[in-house]
């Protein structure tokens, strides 16, 4: 039996008036999610809040409330449920826009992990990310749904060019956008000692993966490490809202 220690921080950064990011940690239900909202006025805040609220309520409600799955992917029940919760968040956003047309154009990314029954389910839409530190190795588990990343994967841009590209903020998938949304879902085994980082692009636009890795490797307090990540991004300019959630799988009975 393992338990999970977790901590999260969201910070407006140094250039934005609003903080349109949101996060939620629900250790009792194994939920760790980050959402990065977008839209005019303060609508990004509405979008990211709808996302984390809907996802958490779907994952903590009774399972029979699930809506019909859209596909037959070979996923475990908890992973299907996580995917379903994110699809519901998308539908909740479309519904909110139908009821209040001034919200049109709002959307949000979402990235998170659900830890249940020895499995870590990783899910995301957009450019918020999930990393896993195992030992001293940091792996990016998600693939940004952005135009620049598509160009990198196709070999048209280098990673360095993508980082400074004027279109680097253009996401190709988001909740609240097109009628349908495709959620990327993967399953990983729970391994004691693993440290998961879920973050918005306000962190990863400012710091390289290796800089993030160095801060995570020296973690001895999750709270301090969260603060160090945010401070490091702000020291680089903090051009966007910064959200980090850290979750450490520990070797002791769950309380």
Residues that bind Ca ion (CB under 5 A): 36, 200-202, 240
Considering the complex, state which of residue 48 and residue 225 has its C-beta at the smaller distance from Ca ion: 48
Q: Which is nearer to Ca ion, 11 or 84 (CB)?
A: 11
- Smallest separation (angstroms) from Ca ion to the CB of 203: 9
Q: Please, what is the minimum distance in Å from the beta carbon of residue 126 to Ca ion?
A: 9
d(C-alpha 3, C-alpha 9), whole Å: 20
**Measured from the CB of residue 10, what is the shortest distance to Ca ion in angstroms?**
11
Reference 52, options 12, 80, 10; nearest CA is: 10
Select from 5, 3, 34, 2 the least CA-distant residue to 21: 34
Helices (H) and strands (E) in the chain, counts: 7, 10
Nearer to Ca ion, 78 or 204 (CB): 204
Check: CB of residue 20 under 8 Å from CB of residue 106: no
Between 8 and 202, CB nearer to Ca ion: 202
DSSP for 33-72, written as a single string: EEEEEE-TTTHHHHHHHHHHHHHHHHHHS-GGGPPPPS--
In whole angstroms, the minimum distance from the beta carbon of 115 to Ca ion comes to: 25
How far is Cα 253 from Cα 239, in angstroms, rounded to an integer? 41
Q: Work out how close the CB of 109 gets to Ca ion at its nearest, in angstroms, rounded to a whole number.
A: 8
Q: Which is nearer to Ca ion, 144 or 194 (CB)?
A: 144
């Amino acid at each position: 039996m393992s338990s999970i220690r977790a901590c999260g921080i969201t910070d407006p950064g140094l250039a934005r008036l609003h903080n349109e990011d949101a996060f939620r940690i629900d250790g009792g239900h194994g939920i760790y999610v980050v959402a990065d909202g977008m839209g005019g006025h303060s609508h990004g805040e509405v979008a990211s809040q709808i996302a984390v609220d809907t996802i958490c309520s779907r994952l903590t409600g009774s399972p029979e409330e699930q809506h019909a799955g859209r596909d037959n992917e070979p996923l475990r029940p908890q992973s299907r449920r996580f995917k379903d919760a994110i699809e519901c968040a998308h539908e909740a956003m479309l519904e909110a826009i139908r009821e209040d047309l001034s919200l049109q154009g709002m959307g949000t990314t979402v990235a998170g992990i659900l830890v249940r029954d020895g499995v870590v389910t990783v899910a995301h839409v957009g450019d918020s990310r999930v990393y896993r530190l195992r030992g001293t190795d940091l792996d990016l588990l998600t693939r940004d749904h952005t135009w620049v990343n598509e160009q990198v994967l196709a070999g048209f841009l280098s990673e360095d060019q993508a980082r400074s590209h004027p279109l680097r903020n253009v996401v190709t998938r988001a909740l609240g956008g097109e009628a349908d949304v495709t959620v990327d879902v993967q399953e990983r085994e729970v391994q004691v000692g693993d440290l998961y980082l879920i973050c918005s692009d306000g962190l990863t636009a400012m710091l390289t993966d290796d800089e993030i890795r160095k801060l995570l490797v020296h973690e001895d307090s999750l709270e301090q490490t969260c603060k160090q990540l945010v401070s490091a991004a702000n020291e680089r300019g903090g051009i966007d809202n910064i959200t980090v959630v850290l979750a450490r799988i520990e070797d002791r009975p769950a309380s």
